[in-house]
Chain A
Amino acid sequence: MPTVPLVAFSDQRLANGLRLIIAEDHLAPVVAVSVWYNVGSKHEVPGKTGFAHLFEHVMFQGSAHVGKAEHIALVQAAGGTMNGTTWLDRTNYFETMPSHQLELALWLEADRMATLLDALSQENLDNQREVVKNEKRWSYDNRPYGSWNEKLQAHLFPPEHPYHHSTIGSMEDLEAASLDDVKGFFRTYYAPNNAVLAIVGDVDPDDARQWTERYFGGIPANPDIPPLGDLSLPPTLGGERRETVIDRVPLPRVYFGFRAPVYGDRRLDALDIAGQILAGGKGSRLHRRLVREERLAQDVALFTLGFIGGASITAGWATARPGIDPGALERAFLEELDRLAAAPVSEDELARARALVESDELGALARVEERADRLAMYATLFDDPDLVNRMLPRYLAVTADQIRDVCAAVFRADNRLVLTYLPEIPPADSSVEPADQPLDEEVAA
């Protein structure tokens, strides 16, 4: 079996605390820059949901020496690609550039880390507020089954926990975000000692260090970044939660959610492999039984979302074929989870899952952008960038017993959320029967 080539990297800190990770790879004339800030939607306070993400948009509205939207214009004119994303535990910004344009990307990232507030205006904040509200409409509100993601977090985490609300936040809170909020957030969290910079690809490490020192070295640290409170949670929900949602969808769909071990916990590695065995493609157990053999489902999914504070999420769904009782679909889905929790998988089944995971990792890590992303992520979340070399061996070392044990701990009735989406009006041109299952809690989407 081939293994992922070792990623050799250097790891150092500037005097102001910025962590700099560099890995060389000269195969293609391409270099990736990844800047991770240790701030995410979990840092939002009540009444300010969605703010970390709105702030991320403001980061593209200019800084002292870069005009509105000019960051992206300069990257694209240099032949690069870029984006920024916000998630519960972190916010990241990244560029992939032709290698001779690396210095420009570093300068652009430094200018906004140093001087974002110099260019801040009410007009730009208001504009991006509207853009983000349209992002919410597009990604959630105007999409069939679009509310499931928000409901998943709301059910699996208690109201006082910062994972309770979604990264996109609420319209009311977005409306309330002010210039002062932007200033406070920037001064608190967007400091070099709260960031990791990873540079991977066709780069001379001495050049990269010199440029990083030149552009980032003069940005002051913030010695007073407030620590997050205790995010720990009981490992299970403590009781089944159910909700039925009436939505404008033609086919019923049942979503499942479970609290899972935190990201980084070895048991989560085993749960990832369990997800592959249960729903990773056409050979998986759920697909084979629900889609191919019993023909209850149009499609199935199951995956893990790893979070470092308190608990992760394992979630999945199955879409009912016309005429199929969502209750029967739910029972069949859960039976497959129970079966994996009751008996170890065969060696052949585990070997197939390992082989697929290995190919996926090989494919992902072939790209410099993915390698930079992983190095910065592992450094930010675990203070351990070398996980880029150890995660695949960890996955390949997962045993059948470990899979059974974690499934038994996670896929429990008292740790389970079941969200059932039912059609508002059954489609006229299908054989869908009116759903006659009991509604536990009816919520219009």
Chain B
Amino acid sequence: MSGAQRAIVVETRPSPGMPRPYEFPPFERHRLANGLDVLVVEMPGRPLVSASLVILHGAADEPALDGGATVLAARALSEGTDVRDAVALIEAAERLGASIHAEAGWDATSLSVDVPAARLEPALELVAEMAARPTFPASEVERLRDERLNDLLQARADPRRRADEAFVATIYTPASPYHRPAGGERETVRQLDPDRLRATHARAFDPRRMSLVVAGEIGRLDVVRIAKHLLDGWAPSPSVRPSGPIVAESALSRRLVRVVHRPGAVQTEIRIGHPGLPRRIPDFHAVSVMSAILGGLFNSRLNMRLREEKGYTYGAGAGFELRRAAGPFSARAAVNTGATVPAVADFLAEIARIRDERVTEAELRAARDFLVGVFPLRFETPGPVVGALSGIVVHGLPDDELARYRPAIEAVSVDDVRSAAETHIDLDRAAIVLVGDADAFGPALESAGFGPVVIERDEGPRTEGPLEGVEDELGPIDVGPAGPTEGADETSVETSVERTDDPTGVKTGSEGLDGR
């Protein structure tokens, strides 16, 4: 065996070459006569074009009694128009090699498509038809509604989704839409019918609140002409008004511990946090750097302590989900059951430390260099460019937000990081939500002094501490297309290839454990 032969190695670490200048690709903005904005980005050499029609209406804008209507209405856009039925729509898109994704999240609704540039116009024709002329056929709406109800059942059995749902239901006041899953809960979803979806559509879809974002090798294609042709005939609707402010208040007046008991579970899903921040904040860049150091980078404080020192977990992270109103701040991991209480103690210690002590210059540099350096990697292809510009539209950010991103990150100081942590993280009014085998760690948890403990068992909520009335209304936080996500896959060293920041604005820090 050749192992005995020593390798000749170069000991010195190479230093970087000269960085090639990079600018976020410039975009042009046009407003059609009916108020619809068109944003176009030329990306040479990218013949697969990405396009998204973004509607400024999300699940956070719907009345509580309609919970789930926005997400369901978005999904039902492809179920038939006054021109074509669902199967004809799907087949027409497939002939173009295009899959059209219609979906809604908290902040917006979108219809997106990736398609070769030569077929952009017919693909956008389908998008426009689905957005403007959906019929919401009763039978298909009923099917999608039932699929959502079944998905809610599935979510209860999945410890990750159960933890996410219990977490938001614990930290937000019931008056906040963020208290519930974006796709709605059983009580409201079961009431949804074509009339409610039509009402949602009529309330939300107005050209003055819509933008078409297109990126790729556009060449001589006249996207504005196409948009005019397909969308300018859509008259503004006088009944559409921007919705009011989004309630995002905390339900927490103290720190508390909520356990959802899962007998025999080999791991405990941990969520720790509280309502966090909206996207439009003056210290966005400091928050991004702070989140990266606490729980975003692989070598973040949380991952190094819980994974690389202790071996409690496959991955630990933390970050802010930045929405139009204050989305959650959460720290998260799945740990082996026996490590539950010490892992929570480590989480609390690291979260306290980022508030109480300055980060080191080396930590600051590593986080800034990562966020600045990874920026061009993110925008290699049209899809993420469209996503970033959609973020600018949805959050009402200035047009130079992306051009400004890297200098703004470079300017973040140690004191800015400290101040961001002190201002935006509050362990005294935080929830610790655990989904796991309470019989294995309950007594140790009670005596650990993290806060009053409420344990809910499968037969229903049972209060074991001083806290009364924690609701048991859990539903999935995820609003992605219904369906299984787990597939046979290779086994990797990291939970997620990108545990990083979104420069435009949806998430800072870890993207959670399900990112792969």
Give per-residue flags for A313-348: 1 if the beta carbon is below 8 A from chain B beta carbons, else 0.
101010101100000000000000000000000001
User: Which residues of A lie under 8 Å from residue B114 when comparing CB positions?
Assistant: 359, 363
Q: How far, in Å, is B509 (CB) from chain A's closest CB? A: 13
A317 (CB) vs chain B CBs: closest residue: B484
**In the complex, A11 has a CB within 8 A of chain B:** no
23 contacts between A and B (CB under 8 A): A27-B46, A28-B379, A29-B20, A77-B365, A78-B373, A79-B370, A98-B376, A100-B17, A101-B17, A107-B14, A114-B9, A129-B311, A134-B312, A138-B313, A139-B314, A144-B157, A187-B1, A215-B10, A218-B8, A219-B8, A295-B146, A363-B383, A367-B380
**In the complex, A298 has a CB within 8 A of chain B:** yes
Question: Among residues 351 to 386 in chain B, which have CB atoms less than 8 Å away from a CB atom of chain A?
Answer: 365-366, 369-370, 372-377, 379-381, 383
Extra inter-chain contacts (17) besides given A2-B118, A359-B115, CB under 8 Å: A30-B380, A56-B491, A57-B493, A73-B297, A80-B377, A96-B377, A100-B17, A103-B16, A115-B9, A137-B334, A143-B486, A187-B2, A188-B1, A211-B14, A220-B2, A348-B95, A353-B94
Q: How far, in Å, is B108 (CB) from chain A's closest CB? A: 22
Q: How far, in Å, is A8 (CB) from chain B's closest CB? A: 14
Which of A53, A101, A188, A303 meets B491, CB within 8 Å?
Answer: A53
Given A29-B22, A79-B374, A303-B487, are A362 and B5 also a contact pair (CB < 8 Å)? no
User: Which residues of B lie under 8 Å from residue A98 when comparing CB positions?
Assistant: 19-20, 373, 376-377
User: Which residues of A lie under 8 Å from residue B44 when comparing CB positions?
Assistant: 27
A144 to B155, CA, bound (A): 10
B114 (CB) vs chain A CBs: closest residue: A363
* Contact between chains at B486 and A101 (CB < 8 Å): no
User: Which residues of B lie under 8 Å from residue A310 when comparing CB positions?
Assistant: none
A146 to B267, CA, bound (A): 13
Given A64-B9, A363-B114, are A298 and B493 also a contact pair (CB < 8 Å)? no
* Contact between chains at B491 and A366 (CB < 8 Å): no
User: Which residues of A lie under 8 Å from residue B159 when comparing CB positions?
Assistant: 142-143
Q: How far, in Å, is A58 (CB) from chain B's closest CB? A: 10
* Contact between chains at B314 and A138 (CB < 8 Å): yes
**In the complex, B220 has a CB within 8 A of chain A:** no
The tally of residues in B whose CB lies under 8 Å from a CB in A reads 100
A110 to B13, CA, bound (A): 11
B380 (CB) vs chain A CBs: closest residue: A28
**In the complex, A233 has a CB within 8 A of chain B:** no
* Contact between chains at B48 and A359 (CB < 8 Å): yes
User: Which residues of A lie under 8 Å from residue B18 when comparing CB positions?
Assistant: 100
Given A73-B298, A131-B307, A187-B3, are A363 and B488 also a contact pair (CB < 8 Å)? no
**In the complex, B461 has a CB within 8 A of chain A:** no
Which of B118, B151, B313 meets A298, CB within 8 Å?
Answer: B151
A318 (CB) vs chain B CBs: closest residue: B484
A282 (CB) vs chain B CBs: closest residue: B90
**In the complex, B45 has a CB within 8 A of chain A:** yes
* Contact between chains at A104 and B493 (CB < 8 Å): no
Give per-residue flags for B9-52: 1 if the beta carbon is below 8 A from chain A beta carbons, else 0.
11101101111111000000000000000000000111110000
A28 to B13, CA, bound (A): 25
* Contact between chains at B19 and A29 (CB < 8 Å): yes
**In the complex, A250 has a CB within 8 A of chain B:** yes
* Contact between chains at A133 and B336 (CB < 8 Å): yes
Give per-residue flags for A193-234: 1 if the beta carbon is below 8 A from chain B beta carbons, else 0.
000000000100000000100110111111110000000000
* Contact between chains at A83 and B492 (CB < 8 Å): yes
* Contact between chains at B498 and A87 (CB < 8 Å): no
* Contact between chains at A84 and B493 (CB < 8 Å): yes
Q: Choose among B9, B153, B366 the residue with the greatest number of A CB atoms under 10 Å from its CB.
A: B9
Which B residues are closer than 8 A to A by beta carbons?
1-3, 5-11, 13-14, 16-22, 44-48, 78, 86-87, 90-91, 94-99, 114-116, 118, 140, 143, 146-147, 150-151, 153-154, 156-159, 186, 265-267, 297-299, 304, 307-314, 334-336, 365-366, 369-370, 372-377, 379-381, 383, 482-484, 486-488, 490-495, 497-498, 500, 513
B365 (CB) vs chain A CBs: closest residue: A77
Q: How far, in Å, is B472 (CB) from chain A's closest CB? A: 12
User: Which residues of B lie under 8 Å from residue A79 when comparing CB positions?
Assistant: 369-370, 372-377
Which of B48, B365, B379 meets A363, CB within 8 Å?
Answer: B48
* Contact between chains at A301 and B487 (CB < 8 Å): yes
A313 to B488, CA, bound (A): 10
Give per-residue flags for A362-389: 1 if the beta carbon is below 8 A from chain B beta carbons, else 0.
1100111000000000000000000000
* Contact between chains at A103 and B17 (CB < 8 Å): yes
A359 to B91, CA, bound (A): 15
Give per-residue flags for A104-128: 1 if the beta carbon is below 8 A from chain B beta carbons, else 0.
1011001100110000000000111
The 5 closest A-B pairs by CB, nearest first: A79-B373, A130-B311, A218-B8, A187-B3, A355-B97
Which of A100, A222, A363 meets B3, CB within 8 Å?
Answer: A222
Question: Among residues 23 to 65 in chain A, which have CB atoms less than 8 Å away from a CB atom of chain B?
Answer: 27-30, 53, 56-57, 59-60, 64-65
Q: How far, in Å, is B379 (CB) from chain A's closest CB? A: 8
A440 to B152, CA, bound (A): 30
* Contact between chains at B369 and A72 (CB < 8 Å): no
* Contact between chains at B482 and A298 (CB < 8 Å): yes
User: Which residues of A lie under 8 Å from residue B3 when comparing CB positions?
Assistant: 183, 186-187, 222
* Contact between chains at B314 and A135 (CB < 8 Å): yes
A69 to B158, CA, bound (A): 31
**In the complex, A191 has a CB within 8 A of chain B:** yes
* Contact between chains at A250 and B154 (CB < 8 Å): yes
